[in-house]
C-alpha cells in the first residue's frame, strides 16, 4: 500500500510524502531563515515542529538543529538523525496520523504555502568541488578542444578528475546571473579579446551535499562514503567558454566558472533516492582498491533542461539526460576527494560535472549541444549558439516510480 | 626620530612598533580566542584594549570588532578603521605615552608573553585562491614538465593565472602535515602508482588577506584594489608533485595541493609595508586597461626557507628569495579575480604562487631547487630530493630598513 499524506498532493507533484526534500526558507520577507521540507504545494516549517516537541526520537529529541538558519548542524549529525527525522516526518504527515492533521493551530503555523516562501541556500557551503564524472562530457570536450586523438586523457579512467570551485558565488535558483567580462583568445595579430563573454553556457549538473565531514589526514573509506552524503541538489555550473578556453592552461578553470553557480533550493536525500538506485556504470580498467565499492550504485534520475529565450513566453526542452550516465559514482568521488587526507566539512558541495548522456540530444551543455557554436539550436524559431541576455534556463530532475504493482 | 615603544624590543626582533602585525590567539589553552598584535616578545590583547575603551577614534569607538574570535569583522571595516587602529596602537605603545605604560593592571592583562600564547588562524577563510605570479617559477615548471619549447604559456603574460584552492585544509604554522596518499603516473606496463607521495614539496608563497569584499557582479577597479587588501601572511602551499603531475590535466591541481596549506599566524599590514614599497616588475606586453595601474608597486620583502632535516638539530637555508620578484602585483591579482564579477569576502586568502627569483639559489620550491629530484640538495651532509618524514620547513620574511640617514 502506498503511503499517503493528509496534505493534498497532485499526482504530478515532485513533492509526495515519499520525497520530503530539505531546504531553508523564510515564510515571509524579513522573517528568520529556518529549515523546512517540501510536501505538495507546502513547506513544512521544521522549526515549528521542533518547538512543538514532535521530534521525539533519541537522536533529535531536544536538539536545536532545526532552530538554525541553515542545515549544517543537522547535516553534521549523520544518517541516524536523518533516518529518524524522515521517519518522524513521514509519520506526522501521513493521512492516518491525527497529531498534525487535526491540530489546526499547528497546521496554520507549520504548513506554509510554497508560493509565499523565499527559498535560501540550504547550507553554509565551506568548500565547493566540481568533478568531471561523465565520460560522454569528457569525450566531447576533448574532441572540441583537442581533436580526435585521445579526446579523453589517460588519467580520466583511473581517478575522478575534479577541481576546486568558488564557494562565494554559489547562489540559489532564481538569482539573476550577470554575464561576466573577461579575456578570450587573441585573434591573429591582436591581443587577447576583452569584453563580455561571447560564449555563455549552462552546465547540467547535480551535486552532493556533504553530511559529517572527516578530519584532516583521515580519508573516508569508499564503502562508508554514503554515510557522508546527505542528498543531492540540481546545479547549474554557469560557464563562460571563451574565458575558460584562454585561461585554463595549466591550472584549470578559474574566472570562466566562478561568476555564479546555481543550486536548487531542495536537497533530495539519498534515503528518498534509494528506491531509484540502479547499477553503476561498468568501469574498465577496474578502479584501484581505494575506489572499489562492494556495492556500486547509481541513481535513475531523469534530467531535463529547458531554455526560455529572452522575450518568449514558452520554453523549449534542449536536452534530456539522466544522473545514471555518470561513470564515477558520488561515493567514489567523495572517497577520492579524501584519499589525500583532504578534509570535508558538513555542507560542502561536490558537483558531478556536466551530466551528458551518449546521444546528441542528451548532452548537458550548449558547448556540446551546438558543438562549440557550429550547429546552433533552434528554439521557438530563434537560433542559439550560446546564451543571450535575458534567456532563462530551467533544470528539472525527477524519478519515475515503476508501476510493477499495477495489476495488484 | 624613530618611534620607540616602552615595551622592550630587541634590535633583531621582527616585531618593532613600526610593524604591529595582527593575529588571533588564546592567552592560555582553553581560553577564548581574541585578536592581538605582536610587539617585541609580547602579544597585545586587543580585546582588553577595546574593553578599556582605548579605541576611541570615530571608526572603532564602541565597536565589538576586537571582541570577536577572528579578525573578519575588523577586516570588513576597511582602511579607515585599519589606519585608526594602527595610529591608536602606535600611540598607546609609544615610549612617551603613559596610558598603558604606567597602568600596571592593564599591562598585566593586555601584554601577554608570546611564548605562552596559542596562535590560531587569524580569520575565517571563506575562499582561498592561489595565483602563479612569479615568472621564474612559471618558466621553471614549464621547463621541467613540458620542455624547452615555450616553457611559459602565451596566456601567462596577459593575465595573472590562478586556480581555486581548498579552504578547509588551511592550517596555522606549526601544525603537522600528514604525507598524502594518492595516485601517480603509471610506469611502463603497469597501472598508476598508488601510495604515499614520493615527491612531497614546499612552496614559498605569501598571501593577501582580503578586507572589504565586493558584491557578486561588481568588479573592483585595479586602482582601488589596495583598499581591499588588509595585509600579507607567509604561506606554504605544500605540494605532492607526483599526485599533481598525474591529476592536473585538464582541470588543474586538486589533491596534490589540498592536503594542507600553512599560513603564518601574523598578518603584516599593507600600511606597515608601505615604507618597503618598490617599483613593480616591468610588464611586456603592457597589460590590458583593467590591469593597468596608475601606480604599480611591489614590496621589498626578503624571504628565506630553511629545512631542519629529520633527526638533526640544525636547520639549513635552502633558498633566499624576495616578494619583489613577482611579475603580477597583488592588486592586479585582486582586480583580475573580480573582473568576471566573482565576489570576494573579508578573510579570503589570495596566494601569490611560489615566489622564485631569477637565480637557482632563489627558487621557491624543491621541484625547482633539485630540478625535479635530478640535483639533490645536501643539508648538513644529508641529501634531499624532496621532503622526508620528520623534516621541518621554516619560512622567514623580513623587511630591512635602509639606513639612508646613516651619516646624519
3-state secondary structure B239-250: EEHHHHHHHCCC
**Is residue A317 situated within a structural domain?**
yes
Determine whether the interchain pair B259/A217 forms a contact, defined as Cβ–Cβ distance below 8 Å. Answer: yes
Q: What per-residue confidence (pLDDT) applies to B401?
A: 78
**Does B205 show up as a binding residue in the annotation?**
yes
Asked whether residue A17 carries a pLDDT value surpassing 70, the answer given is yes
Of A66, A398, A71, A20, nearest to A209 (Cα)? A71
Chain A contact probe: residue of B150, B243, B340 with most A CBs at under 10 A: B340
**Is residue B391 situated within a structural domain?**
yes
B253 and B189 in one domain? Answer: yes
Distance (Å) from the alpha carbon of B129 to chain A's nearest alpha carbon: 9
Q: Which of residues 108-167 of A touch B (CB under 8 A)?
A: 126-127, 132, 141, 145, 153-155, 158-159, 161-167
Q: What per-residue confidence (pLDDT) applies to A354?
A: 98
Asked whether residue A402 carries a pLDDT value surpassing 70, the answer given is no
Between CA B244 and CA B237 the distance in angstroms is: 13
Q: Domain boundary residue among A120, A147, A173? A: A120
A172 and A81 in one domain? Answer: no
**Is residue A182 situated within a structural domain?**
yes
**Is residue A323 situated within a structural domain?**
yes
A376 and A284 in one domain? Answer: yes
3-state secondary structure of B215: coil
Report the run of H or E that residue B146 belongs to, with start and end: helix B135-146
In this structure, the dihedral spanned by the alpha carbons of residues A378, A400, A21 and A206, taken in order and rounded to 10 degrees, is -50
Asked whether residue A188 carries a pLDDT value surpassing 60, the answer given is yes
Question: How many contacts does A have with B, using Cβ atoms within 8 A?
Answer: 198
In this structure, the dihedral spanned by the alpha carbons of residues B308, B313, B317 and B323, taken in order and rounded to 10 degrees, is 60
Q: Check if the beta carbon of residue A93 is closer than 8 Å to that of residue A17.
A: yes
**Is residue A16 situated within a structural domain?**
no
Cα nearest neighbour of B216 on chain A = A169
CA A88 and chain centroid, separation: 25
Q: What per-residue confidence (pLDDT) applies to B123?
A: 98
Task: Assess B219–A contact: CB distance below 8 Å, yes or no.
Answer: yes
Of B111, B108, B117, nearest to B33 (Cα)? B117
Chain A contact probe: residue of B154, B190, B237, B251 with most A CBs at under 10 A: B251
Report the predicted TM-score, pTM, of the whole model to 2 decimal places. Answer: 0.97
The pLDDT-based confidence of A223 (bands split at 50, 70, 90) is very high
Determine whether the interchain pair B158/A248 forms a contact, defined as Cβ–Cβ distance below 8 Å. Answer: no
**Is residue B10 situated within a structural domain?**
no
Which three cell numbers, joined as nine digits, stand for B368?
A: 625547482
Burial pattern B31-63, b for ≥16 Cβ within 10 A else e, equals eebbbbbbbbebbbbbbbbbebebbeeebbeeb
The pLDDT-based confidence of A221 (bands split at 50, 70, 90) is very high
- Separation of first and last alpha carbons in chain B: 11
Which three cell numbers, joined as nine digits, stand for B123?
A: 580569520
Distance (Å) from the alpha carbon of A12 to chain B's nearest alpha carbon: 36
B285 and B236 in one domain? Answer: yes
**Does A261 show up as a binding residue in the annotation?**
yes
Q: Domain boundary residue among B83, B104, B120? A: B120
Backbone dihedral angles phi then psi of residue A395, each to the nearest 5 degrees: -100, 140
Determine whether the interchain pair B168/A339 forms a contact, defined as Cβ–Cβ distance below 8 Å. Answer: no
Task: Assess B343–A contact: CB distance below 8 Å, yes or no.
Answer: yes
Q: What per-residue confidence (pLDDT) applies to B404?
A: 46
Q: What residues contact B304, with CB distance under 8 A and at least 6 apart? A: B317, B319, B320, B321, B395, B396, B397
Q: Output the DSSP codes for B287-348.
A: PPGGG--SS-EEE--EEEEEEE-TT-SS-EEEEEEEGGG-SS-HHHHHHHHHHT-PPP-TT-
* pLDDT per residue as tens digits for the range A156-175: 999 999 999 999 999 999 99
Q: Check if the beta carbon of residue B32 is closer than 8 Å to that of residue B12.
A: no
Q: Check if the beta carbon of residue A34 is closer than 8 Å to that of residue A24.
A: yes
**Domain that residue B199 falls in:** 128-398
The pLDDT-based confidence of A408 (bands split at 50, 70, 90) is very low
Which three cell numbers, joined as nine digits, stand for B213?
A: 569584499
Between CA A205 and CA A303 the distance in angstroms is: 9
Of A237, A275, A288, nearest to A134 (Cα)? A237
Between CA A406 and CA B11 the distance in angstroms is: 87
Of B262, B273, B274, nearest to B395 (Cα)? B262
Tell which wins on pLDDT, A190 or A123: A123
Of A160, A151, A48, nearest to A107 (Cα)? A48
Q: Is the peptide bond before B130 cis (omega within 30 degrees of 0)?
A: no
The pLDDT-based confidence of A326 (bands split at 50, 70, 90) is very high
* Residue corresponding to grid cell 639612508: B404
Q: Check if the beta carbon of residue A162 is closer than 8 Å to that of residue A131.
A: yes
Of B83, B10, B26, nearest to B269 (Cα)? B83
Cα nearest neighbour of B151 on chain A = A250
Q: Check if the beta carbon of residue A55 is closer than 8 Å to that of residue A67.
A: no
Regions of chain B where pLDDT drops below 70: 1, 402-408
Cα nearest neighbour of A244 on chain B = B251
**Does B146 show up as a binding residue in the annotation?**
yes
Average pLDDT value over all residues in chain A: 96
Q: Which of residues 243-282 of A touch B (CB under 8 A)?
A: 243, 246-256, 258-260
B124 exposure class (CB count in 10 Å sphere: 0-12, 13-18, 19+): middle
Nearest residue, CB atoms, A340 vs list B255, B285, B344? B255
Distance (Å) from the alpha carbon of A24 to chain B's nearest alpha carbon: 20
* pLDDT per residue as tens digits for the range B142-156: 999 889 998 999 999
The length of chain A is 408
**Does A370 show up as a binding residue in the annotation?**
no
Of B329, B236, B129, nearest to A168 (Cα)? B129
Cα nearest neighbour of A124 on chain B = B126
A285 and A161 in one domain? Answer: yes
Residues of chain A with C-beta less than 8 angstroms from the C-beta of B339: 180-182, 255
Q: Of the listed B14, B136, B137, B403, which one is catalytic?
A: B137
Q: What is the CATH number of the domain that holds B331?
A: 3.90.850.10
Between CA B239 and CA B179 the distance in angstroms is: 10
Which three cell numbers, joined as nine digits, stand for B27?
A: 592567552
Residues of chain B with C-beta less than 8 angstroms from the C-beta of A256: 340
A133 and A114 in one domain? Answer: no
* Residue corresponding to grid cell 524579513: A30
Between CA B352 and CA B234 the distance in angstroms is: 10
A132 and A114 in one domain? Answer: no
B268 and B133 in one domain? Answer: yes
A276 and A180 in one domain? Answer: yes
Report the run of H or E that residue B279 belongs to, with start and end: strand B277-279
Q: What residues contact B8, with CB distance under 8 A and at least 6 apart? A: B40
B85 and B182 in one domain? Answer: no
Q: What residues contact B313, with CB distance under 8 A and at least 6 apart? A: none
Nearest residue, CB atoms, A169 vs list B181, B258, B343? B343
Q: What per-residue confidence (pLDDT) applies to B402?
A: 61
Which three cell numbers, joined as nine digits, stand for B126?
A: 571563506
Task: Assess A198–B contact: CB distance below 8 Å, yes or no.
Answer: no
A162 and A114 in one domain? Answer: no
Asked whether residue A403 carries a pLDDT value surpassing 90, the answer given is no
Residues of chain A with C-beta less than 8 angstroms from the C-beta of B163: 163-164, 251-252, 254
Determine whether the interchain pair A252/B255 forms a contact, defined as Cβ–Cβ distance below 8 Å. Answer: no
Between CA A64 and CA A57 the distance in angstroms is: 14
Report the run of H or E that residue A338 belongs to, with start and end: helix A330-339
Determine whether the interchain pair A339/B181 forms a contact, defined as Cβ–Cβ distance below 8 Å. Answer: yes
Q: Output the DSSP codes for A110-158.
A: HEEEGGG-EEE-SS--S-EEEE---HHHHHHHHHHHH-SSSSS-GGGGT
Q: What is the CATH number of the domain that holds B88?
A: 2.30.30.230
Looking from the CA of A31 toward its CB, the CA atoms found within 13 Å total 14
DSSP classification of residue B15 = -
Cα nearest neighbour of A253 on chain B = B251
DSSP-assigned beta bridge partners for residue A172: A263
**Is residue B191 situated within a structural domain?**
yes
Between CA B209 and CA B203 the distance in angstroms is: 18
* pLDDT per residue as tens digits for the range A81-108: 999 999 999 999 999 999 999 999 999 9
DSSP-assigned beta bridge partners for residue A304: A320, A396
Q: Output the DSSP codes for A200-266.
A: EE-BEEEEEEE-S---TT-PPPGGGGGGGEEEEEEEE--EEHHHHHHH-TTT--STTTTT-EEE-S-
Burial pattern A364-394, b for ≥16 Cβ within 10 A else e, equals bbbbbbbbbeeeeeebeebebbbbeeebebe
Which three cell numbers, joined as nine digits, stand for B279?
A: 617599483
Active site members of A: 137
* Residue corresponding to grid cell 585608526: B84
Q: Domain boundary residue among B77, B99, B120? A: B120
Which three cell numbers, joined as nine digits, stand for A37?
A: 521540507
Q: Could you give the number of structural domains in chain A?
A: 2
Which three cell numbers, joined as nine digits, stand for B390?
A: 620528520
**Is residue B11 situated within a structural domain?**
no
Of B133, B164, B167, B395, nearest to B264 (Cα)? B395
Determine whether the interchain pair A126/B247 forms a contact, defined as Cβ–Cβ distance below 8 Å. Answer: no
A343 and A246 in one domain? Answer: yes
Neighbours of A157 (CB within 10 A): 17
Between CA B276 and CA B91 the distance in angstroms is: 22
- ipTM of the complex in this document: 0.96
Determine whether the interchain pair A191/B166 forms a contact, defined as Cβ–Cβ distance below 8 Å. Answer: no
Report the run of H or E that residue A75 belongs to, with start and end: helix A72-77
Amino acid at each position: 500500500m502506498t503511503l499517503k499524506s493528509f496534505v493534498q498532493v497532485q499526482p504530478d507533484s515532485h513533492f509526495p510524502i515519499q520525497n520530503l526534500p530539505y531546504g531553508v526558507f523564510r515564510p515571509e520577507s524579513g522573517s528568520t531563515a529556518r529549515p523546512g521540507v517540501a510536501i505538495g504545494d507546502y513547506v513544512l516549517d521544521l522549526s515549528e515542529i521542533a518547538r512543538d516537541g514532535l521530534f521525539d526520537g533519541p537522536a533529535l529529541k531536544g536538539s536545536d538543529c532545526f532552530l538554525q538558519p541553515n542545515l549544517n548542524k543537522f547535516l553534521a549529525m549523520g544518517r541516524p538523525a536523518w533516518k529518524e527525522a524522515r521517519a518522524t516526518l513521514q509519520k506526522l504527515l501521513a493521512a492516518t496520523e491525527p497529531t498534525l492533521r487535526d491540530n489546526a493551530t499547528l497546521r496554520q503555523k507549520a504548513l506554509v504555502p510554497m508560493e509565499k516562501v523565499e527559498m535560501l541556500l540550504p547550507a553554509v557551503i565551506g568548500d565547493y568541488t566540481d568533478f568531471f564524472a561523465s565520460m560522454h562530457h569528457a569525450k566531447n570536450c576533448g574532441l572540441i578542444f583537442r581533436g580526435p586523438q585521445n579526446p579523453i586523457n589517460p588519467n580520466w579512467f583511473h581517478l575522478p578528475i575534479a577541481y576546486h570551485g568558488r564557494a562565494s558565488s554559489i547562489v540559489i535558483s532564481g538569482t539573476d546571473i550577470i554575464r561576466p567580462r573577461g579575456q578570450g583568445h587573441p585573434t591573429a595579430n591582436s591581443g587577447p579579446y576583452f569584453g563580455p563573454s561571447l560564449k555563455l553556457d549552462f552546465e547540467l549538473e547535480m551535486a552532493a551535499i556533504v553530511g559529517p565531514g572527516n578530519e584532516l589526514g583521515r580519508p573516508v573509506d569508499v564503502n562508508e562514503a554514503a554515510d557522508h552524503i546527505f542528498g543531492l541538489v540540481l546545479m547549474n555550473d554557469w560557464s563562460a567558454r571563451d574565458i575558460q578556453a584562454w585561461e585554463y592552461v595549466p591550472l584549470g578553470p578559474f574566472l570562466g566558472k566562478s561568476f555564479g553557480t546555481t543550486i536548487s533550493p531542495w536537497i533530495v536525500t539519498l534515503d528518498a533516492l534509494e528506491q531509484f538506485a540502479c547499477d553503476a556504470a561498468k568501469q574498465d580498467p577496474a578502479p584501484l582498491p581505494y575506489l572499489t565499492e562492494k556495492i556500486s550504485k547509481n541513481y535513475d534520475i531523469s534530467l531535463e533542461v529547458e531554455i526560455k529565450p529572452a522575450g518568449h513566453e514558452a520554453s523549449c526542452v534542449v536536452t534530456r539526460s539522466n544522473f545514471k550516465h555518470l561513470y564515477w559514482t558520488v561515493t567514489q568521488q567523495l572517497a577520492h576527494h579524501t584519499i589525500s587526507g583532504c578534509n570535508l566539512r558538513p555542507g560542502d558541495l561536490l558537483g558531478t560535472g556536466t551530466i551528458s548522456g551518449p546521444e546528441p540530444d542528451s548532452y548537458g551543455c550548449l558547448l556540446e549541444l551546438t558543438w562549440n557554436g557550429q550547429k546552433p539550436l533552434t528554439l521557438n524559431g530563434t537560433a542559439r549558439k550560446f546564451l543571450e541576455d535575458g534567456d532563462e534556463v530551467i533544470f528539472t530532475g525527477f524519478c519515475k516510480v515503476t508501476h510493477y504493482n499495477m495489476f495488484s
